Structure 1
Amino acid sequence: MSFHLVVGHGPAGAATARLLAEQGHEVRVATRTGQPAAHQGAAPVDGVEHLALDASDPAALTAAARGAAAIHGCAAPPLPQWAERWPALVSSLCAAAEDSGAVLVLLGNLYGYGPQADPDRPLTEDLPLAATGPKGRVRAAGWEQARALHEAGRIRAVEVRASDFFGPGVTDGGHLAARVMPGLLKGRAVAVLGDPDAPHSWTYLPDVARALAEVAGEERAWGRAWHVPTLPAASVRAMVGHLAAEAGTAPVAVRRLSPVLLGAAGLFSPLLRELREVRYQFDRPFTVDASAYEAAFTVRATPLEEQVKATVAWWRERLDA
């Protein structure tokens, strides 16, 4: 087995590190603190070593990556700081990949596509990265930088793009996470951003980790972006219904947060202000097509029943603790 460096220990980084260790790889996780993320639990994972470093420092990251077979870029600055800090992070990841010869596996999202003229058309990897907002542009530019270096023969790079995370370990973000699950488990009504009946793609976190691990060892995956296998789109209301049924608290009312109140709250909340750029993802259909990945590789989306059961169990354990 080989050495993998995972940069970041948020939900995706933690899940990827755990999976790689279970597969028998040597795994090191690089974060600013050098400690497991609190929301992932303080208990160490066998086979995972934690390193304290600033991933945007090319010298520090390059030193940590020497000997690695793959570098998994799962870190992200706080959302309000993306435009300012993302370029340095991507440049550092690319420098470490070039020095070490490791495959650079970037975890991407769907912001780079921007709003589509036809929201009923599922997103595919061949769409142009035409985002008009700063967060979408900076994410698109990061991948274009890595791809240009790949095409120049200086690094080997691949990007794996996921829709909104869902599942055990996902606590940040309001959709089907911290804003929804605690109340849902008590049978309380939940309030959500956007249209609760619009079709939306939810990418299950363990499937993200499995895709990141798979493409690292698949040379034919490198040099392009892929969508993580994701189940057919389901509205927020439908997903809340599935979760509440599993929790035994159904029916749970789902209400749309007032756009007026959200606008007012944005005056005081940097996070809500930043979310204005991507509100279109929840105000209308937002779906992803992962058929290209499924035609080429082995990872498939976890069945919905398993997703829901594991998510409810994880949140119950977390809230009980």
Structure 2
Amino acid sequence: MSFHLVVGHGPAGAATTRLLAEQGHEVRVVTRSGRPAQAAPGSTGDGGVRHLALDASDPAALARAAHGAVAIHGCAAPPLPQWAARWPALSASLCAAAEDSGAVLVMLGNLYGYGPQPDPTRPLTEDLPLAATGPKGRVRAAAWEQARALHEAGRIRAVEVRASDFFGPGVTDGGHLAARAMPGLLKGRPVAVLGDPDAPHSWTYLPDVARALAEVAGDERAWGRAWHVPTAPAASIRAMVGHLAAEAGTAPVAVRRLSPVLLGAAGLFSPLLRELRETRYQFDRPFVMDSADYEAHFTVRATPLKEQVEATVAWWRERLGS
């Protein structure tokens, strides 16, 4: 049994914690509160996982927590409006803890760092330059570039696993598809969405994120570069809502695009909507991620979409008591 440190206990951190514990590892979780997030419906809990209260951007405190760990899983993220201000300290602390402890740094990343592509019909691959021009994309790219530079200098061992928008049980952030759709969809109500509801989009299943983070932590072939989480073929928002409604027994459900004018006005009062302006391109046109390179080297595969939808609807039914 080995010791893994998971930094952050949002949906991805919680899923990774549960998986590592199920695999028999000792797991400690770092959050500011030191308290586990509310258990997901149907979950058996963290099974004796130890939760630590500390500021992960404090390098000395994080290094002490990571002492003896084989891997540090960086699953934390500041609130979206605070990314530019707080990501640099958090990423520097993760790197310092990895250097001090000798643990492999496994960073959970996203696709913001690539920025808008000249040809949106071309799937995103890991060899694309990190060319984001917006502040959130730049700060996420800088976090990985810092870790990669330290890896290449021989000071740490690091790997980044990048996911597209999360989908699946436990994803409750209002910016994600099921969180926006399911409360109304279960009652047969129309679903209002950002962007073009018919543009193909990649949705990464949350349990597959956890499986990929756990797999690369123990395989040195993965270290030193970024990989895309195995993700099912892209599907439009309209198609995904259709799958969810069919499974819930409420089909057909209308899908309505929110007016850009209305979104602009709402952004005056909503910090989240203001921040999402930078990444609106991901929903206004095709946004497709290619995970073939990961699948050519490792064992994790994307969960079949049918299983994803079944599990997601069941989770939301239990959560909402529907």
**Bucket of the pairwise TM-score, normalised by the shorter protein:** over 0.9
Partner residue of 2:166?
165
Q: State how far apart, in whole Å, the 1-side matches of 2:174 and 2:164 are.
A: 12
TM-superposed CA distance for 1:201, in Å, is 0.2
Letter of the structure 2 residue corresponding to residue 99 of structure 1: D
Matched to 2:154, the amino acid is: G
Alpha-carbon separation, structure 2, partners of 1:315 and 1:6: 26
Question: Quick one: which amino acid aligns to residue 23 of structure 2?
Answer: Q
Is 1:34 the counterpart of 2:34? The answer is yes
- For the 8 Å contact 1:14–1:40, the answer to whether it is kept is no
Q: Which residue matches 1:180?
A: 181
The CA distance in 2 between the partners of 1:63 and 1:132, in whole Å, is 36
Residue 311 of structure 1: aligned partner: 312
2:20 paired with 1:20: yes
Q: Do the aligned partners of 1:108 and 1:161 also contact (CA within 8 Å) in 2?
A: yes
- TM-score normalised according to structure 1 size: 0.98
Q: Which residue of 2 aligns with 1:76?
A: 77
- Between the aligned partners of 2:39 and 2:283, the Cα distance in structure 1 is 26
Q: Supply the AA of the counterpart residue of 2:170.
A: G
Q: Which amino acid in 2 is paired with 1:63?
A: R
Post-superposition offset of 1:40: 4.2
* C-alpha deviation, 1:38, in angstroms: 3.1
Cα distance in 2 between the residues matched to 1:287 and 1:39: 32
Structure 2, unpaired ranges of 5+: none
Q: What's the secondary structure of 1:50's corresponding residue? A: strand
Q: CA–CA distance in 1 between the matches of 2:44 and 2:25?
A: 19
Work out whether 1:9 is the aligned partner of 2:9: yes
Q: Secondary structure at the match of 1:45?
A: coil
Confirm or deny: 8 A CA contact 1:94 1:146 kept in the other structure: yes
How far is the alpha carbon of 1:47 from its aligned partner? 3.4
CA drift of 1:276 comes to 0.2
Q: In structure 2, what is the Cα distance between the partners aligned to 1:47 and 1:213?
A: 18
Rounded to whole Å, the distance in 1 between the matches of 2:268 and 2:40 is 31
Shift of residue 176, structure 1, vs aligned partner: 1.8
Does the aligned pair in 2 maintain the 1:174–1:192 contact within 8 Å? no
**Match for residue 259 of structure 2?**
258
Which residue in the other structure is 1:284 paired with? 285
Amino acid at match of 2:156: I
Identity percentage over the alignment? 87
Q: Measure how far apart 1:43 and its partner are.
A: 6.9
Deviation, structure 1 residue 44: 3.9
Query: Aligned with 1:38: secondary structure?
Result: coil
Structure 1, gaps ≥5 residues long: none
Helix, strand or coil: the match of 1:117?
Answer: coil
Per-residue deviation, 1:204: 0.2
Q: Distance in 2 between matches of 1:313 and 1:120?
A: 33
Q: Take 1:176 and 1:98, find their aligned partners in 2: how far apart are those partners?
A: 37
Q: Given that residues 36 and 44 in structure 1 are in contact (C-alpha distance below 8 angstroms), is that contact kept between their aligned partners in structure 2?
A: no
Corresponding residue for residue 125 of structure 2: 124
CA positional deviation for 1:57? 0.5
Query: Structure 1's 39 and 255: CA in aligned 2 closer, same or farther, altered over 3 A?
Result: farther
- Contact conserved, 2:39 with 2:45, CA < 8 A, in 1? no
Q: CA RMSD in A?
A: 1.2
Matched-pair contact (CA < 8 Å) for 1:34–1:50: yes
3-state SS of the aligned residue for 1:104? Answer: strand
Indicate the residue corresponding to 2:116 in structure 1. Answer: 115
* 1:104 equivalent in structure 2: 105
Say if 2:137 is the partner of 1:136. Answer: yes
The amino acid across from 2:14 in the alignment is A
Tell me if structure 1 keeps the 8 A contact 2:229–2:294: yes
**Deviation digits for residues 239-294 of structure 1 (CA, Å, limit 9, x no counterpart):** 00000000000000000000000000001111100000000000000000000000
The alignment of Structure 1 onto Structure 2 pairs a total of residues equal to 321
Question: How far is the alpha carbon of 1:320 from its aligned partner?
Answer: 1.2
Task: Name the CA distance, whole Å, in 1 between partners of 2:30 and 2:100.
Answer: 17
* Matches of 1:187 and 1:50, distance apart in 2: 40
Give, in angstroms, the shift of residue 48 of structure 1: 1.3
Looking at structure 2, the residues matched to 124 and 274 of structure 1 have their Cα atoms a distance apart, in angstroms, of: 25
Alpha-carbon shift at residue 9 of structure 1 (Å) = 0.3
The answer for the alignment partner of 1:234 in structure 2 is 235
Distance, in Å, in 2 between the alignment partners of 1:32 and 1:88 is 15
Q: Shift of residue 39 of structure 1?
A: 6.6
